[in-house]
Structure 1
């Protein structure tokens, strides 16, 4: 009786961890694919198998090496160190068979153990590391394709500053059609993955979060991957919001102009998060007032700022520190793009 109960508990816990890691990696579907099960079969969820998409043999080797340096042991089925590699099996004939198609498939198929001792925080960290390494390899691969010295983060460049609201709207309406593809290639998703993971260490998954300037929903996908279910978003671009609505990440999306009154109740959000919005003079400084109004006391406002903006937005945040409206929780730099550097700033409302 006791043994049966223990087996049931083991299976439930294994399934929870397996589903959690699958959800986290789903945000990186352009490079990570977890095969679906055939009918009439079930998983033994003490390990994870996934395929790396679009990477060369050299990049797959780098993936294994870089994840290993960060504490993850991931094996590739088509490598001599994996016991499941068919060339390691014993046959009744002298030479193993030549199976070119099999070799092709297993050359990018990865295998990783999921220990029952892993808790939810461990799984979040494992998922973060896998995606961070994969996103970095995509960026490096695109740099090589475009010649490292001539590679540009953005094919049409970035506007240094905007003359007014109409120019901001025009830029993002046009950009929406290829925004996601460009940011998958240039490394921006590394920052979004880090920001979402970082927030998972501060917030619980039931926190009501507003993605400020959510755009096409890339950050929302990463937040959803780490288990956040009460996500809302606003943006000035209708075309971007139309794309975001196709995702299964947000409970609500609406068009809004930052710097103007927001049709939201005061003290109604557990957290605010924003990336790639407060930059290049595209949002007025007074936008912070309304955002602070809708944030609950003792709750977090996290923003990614561009270092090259010379602290124009951070200096405004410092004014709220001096007025005892906000206090700083974290400020750290992160570089994922070649053209500029960013810093993550997390504040708490008094």
Structure 2
């Protein structure tokens, strides 16, 4: 059986630690936590305040089994959460059967001043899908009165396919 080399969770965790230099006790939300791969990578780099949400109860059970999240819950439970997170990560969450752009639109309400929003996604098959992802990141930045998102490619996101990364920084950051 051929296994895919899925590097996105490792890439996102390393980005927080080594590029953005996010503090170890930052309150981090992994939207679309799935099987817990992002949480596992974050805890391996000594992040201690990682929380996960997903649309599927079965995925939440799988993520909880990794023992890397302080809490795991359904994404609907976020509707009454405000000004809570320092970092929100959405890694490979958009697409059929995943988190919708509408659900992810809750993100601006969830973050604290000075937060960062990380969106990592397999490069879309079409320019239209690529533009949708960039428009989503730009809409979040506009709503938060933040600078334009930093958008860059991710080589070998999964196997030989590339990905795309968007970072929205709210407030003043050096990186």
TM over 0.5: yes
1:231 offset after TM fit, Å?
0.6
Q: Which has the higher contact order (CA 8 A, sep 6+)?
A: 2
1:330 aligns with 2:146: no
Q: Among residues 194, 199, 213, which one is paired with 2:16 in the alignment?
A: 199
Can you give the 5+ residue segments of structure 1 that lack an aligned partner in the other structure?
A: 1-144, 147-184
Contact in 1 for aligned 2:116/2:168 (Cα 8 Å):
yes
Contact in 1 for aligned 2:108/2:144 (Cα 8 Å):
no
Cα distance in 2 between the residues matched to 1:326 and 1:288: 17
Q: Among residues 63, 72, 79, which one is paired with 1:253 in the alignment?
A: 72
Alignment correspondent of 1:231: 50
**CA distance change for structure 1 residues 253 and 195 in 2, over 3 Å: closer, same or farther?**
same
The alignment's TM-score, normalised by the length of structure 1, stands at 0.43
The RMSD of aligned alpha carbons is 2.3
1:204 offset after TM fit, Å?
0.4
Q: Among residues 160, 163, 186, which one is paired with 2:4 in the alignment?
A: 186
1:248 offset after TM fit, Å?
2.1
1:209 aligns with 2:28: yes
Q: Among residues 113, 131, 150, which one is paired with 1:297 in the alignment?
A: 113
1:234 offset after TM fit, Å?
0.5
**CA distance change for structure 1 residues 281 and 253 in 2, over 3 Å: closer, same or farther?**
closer
> Greater share of strand residues, 1 or 2?
2
Contact in 1 for aligned 2:32/2:98 (Cα 8 Å):
no
Q: Deviations over 1:120-153 (max 9, x none)?
A: xxxxxxxxxxxxxxxxxxxxxxxxx75xxxxxxx
**CA distance change for structure 1 residues 321 and 236 in 2, over 3 Å: closer, same or farther?**
closer
**CA distance change for structure 1 residues 310 and 229 in 2, over 3 Å: closer, same or farther?**
same
**CA distance change for structure 1 residues 303 and 271 in 2, over 3 Å: closer, same or farther?**
same
Cα distance in 2 between the residues matched to 1:217 and 1:207: 18
Q: Among residues 38, 54, 59, which one is paired with 1:240 in the alignment?
A: 59
1:271 aligns with 2:87: yes
1:283 offset after TM fit, Å?
3.3
User: Secondary structure of 2:135's match?
Assistant: helix
Task: Give the greater-gyration-radius structure (CA).
Answer: 1
Cα distance in 2 between the residues matched to 1:322 and 1:244: 32
Q: Deviations over 1:141-172 (max 9, x none)?
A: xxxx75xxxxxxxxxxxxxxxxxxxxxxxxxx
Can you give the 5+ residue segments of structure 2 that lack an aligned partner in the other structure?
A: none
> Greater share of helix residues, 1 or 2?
1
Corresponding residue pairs, total: 164
